[in-house]
Amino acid sequence: MYCGQSVLRARLDAGIYVERQYRRLAKVCVNSANRSKSDGKGRDMCVDHFRKNRVFICGVVGLFCMSAYPEVRAATASMAVPSQSFQEEQTDPAALARHAAARADYWRGIYWTAKGDARKAVAYWRKAAVAGDAAAEFNMGDACYAGQGIVRNHQQAASWWEKSALQGNARAANNLGYAYAHGEGVPQNPERAVFWWKRAADAGDAHAELLLGLAYYYGRGVPMGYEQANAYFRLAAKQGNALAEFALGNDYAHGYGTARNDQAAYTWFLRAAEHGNVKAELHLGGLLYQGKGVARNYPEAVSWWRDAALQNDPDAELLLGIAYAHGNGVAQSDERARFWWDKARSHGGSAARLASQLIGKLPQS
């Protein structure tokens, strides 16, 4: 259905269509509210109509997110932030009308984002946020933080994120935790960061689970505890978070918070590497090169190191040079070894110092 400008088209289609549906729903609720005042019969009809149509609209958003095109899924998934401001027990037609109108403003903001007009997007999100729409509050926070369509203001960003987080928006709680961790818009407070990350993690946010794992790993805002860190890394890793997969592999490789297990380390490094984590590619190559947790396989080790080296990882460049110097997994070549060691040396640091020493040992050409 989508090709070429698929991401843009998906945002435009979703934004304008869903907005129209909510505008119609708001109109029905307003009419029902007026009828309730006159004869008292409009409330039940409004509530029933609202709930049925809300389910239908959410289904439409789901269809956009289920598109066969990966780029469309990625584009629309970021738009499908639910509005926790809606209460299922709400039966007041006027309140339902306000909620539907706020949802419409939120989606009109999505439309203007796709059109490339951040100012207009913010104008609509502000209307929805003032009306209490949690997703719009979250977007206002992001806009204030980045200075997109509005003057950059980290204090306002934190304020909007807090409003949204208090309504149960996990992504807002995650961002607010980051703000407290780094002192951006709020006083730096590691304990408050952990508090908000726990709120987000309780709602299943994988990034918050990762950050909690790191907090326990380094003892920031909580007492250091490898076992607790490992538990949060595992939760995030099970959701496919590449950084958590790498961290879990590292725990198994060194026995942090769990029994040392090279096979388990290999498994998690492989998952993280398949998700594009550079350090996982580096460590995976190391296990294959040494035959730890897996049969020794020089060519495959070199392949993973090459992937990492092509992303300018200095340690991978150093190790790839060593493979060429010894002819392990590749044809022996002092020239290629020098090439990769020169690249490692260009980054500075410990890899650069060792690369310089190794280059000094090569035969003079």
Q: Is residue 140 part of a domain?
A: no
Q: Is 331 exposed, middle or buried (0-12, 13-18, 19+ CB in 10 A)?
A: exposed
Predicted pLDDT at 4: 41
Structural domain range at position 15: 1-116
Place of tokens 């950084």: 243
Q: Is 277 exposed, middle or buried (0-12, 13-18, 19+ CB in 10 A)?
A: buried
User: For residue range 75-88, what is the model confidence (pLDDT) as tens digits?
Assistant: 444 444 455 554 54
Q: Is residue 262 part of a domain?
A: no
Q: Is residue 134 part of a domain?
A: no
Count how many domains the chain has: 1
Predicted pLDDT at 68: 38
Q: Is residue 218 part of a domain?
A: no
Predicted pLDDT at 222: 98
Residues whose CB falls within 8 Å of the CB of residue 96, separated by 6 or more in sequence, listed in order: 29, 46, 47, 50, 90
CA distance 139 to 160: 8
Coil vs helix vs strand at 126: helix
Q: Is residue 54 part of a domain?
A: yes
Contacts of the segment 117-121: beta carbons below 8 A, 24+ positions apart = 117/149, 118/143, 118/148, 118/149, 118/150, 119/149, 119/150, 120/149, 121/149
Task: Report angle CA 69, 75, 80 to the nearest 5 degrees.
Answer: 115
Predicted pLDDT at 114: 78
Nearest to 29 by CA among 106, 92, 107, 104: 92
Q: Is residue 42 part of a domain?
A: yes
Place of tokens 């909007």: 160
DSSP 190-227: HHHHHHHHHHHHHTT-HHHHHHHHHHHHHTSSS---HH
Contacts of the segment 136-143: beta carbons below 8 A, 24+ positions apart = 136/83, 136/102, 136/105, 136/106, 136/109, 137/161, 137/163, 137/164, 137/167, 137/169, 137/172, 138/81, 138/164, 138/169, 138/171, 138/172, 138/175, 139/81, 139/106, 139/109, 141/172, 141/175, 142/175, 143/118
CA distance 33 to 99: 13
At 321, which amino acid appears?
G
Predicted pLDDT at 67: 43
CB 244, CB 206: distance < 8 Å: yes
DSSP 233-301: HHHHHTTT-HHHHHHHHHHHHHTSSS---HHHHHHHHHHHHHTT-HHHHHHHHHHHHHTSSS---HHHH
Residue 311 has a CB neighbour count (10 Å cut-off) of: 12
Place of tokens 């950059």: 152
Pair of tokens at residue 65 = 């997110």
Task: Report angle CA 32, 53, 162 to the nearest 5 degrees.
Answer: 95
Pair of tokens at residue 94 = 């006027």
Task: Report angle CA 331, 332, 333 to the nearest 5 degrees.
Answer: 110
Q: Is residue 7 part of a domain?
A: yes
Q: Is residue 172 part of a domain?
A: no
Predicted pLDDT at 99: 77
The low-confidence residues of the chain, meaning pLDDT below 70, are 1-18, 24-94, 365
Predicted pLDDT at 364: 79
Predicted pLDDT at 243: 98
Cα dihedral 253, 254, 257, 260 sign: positive
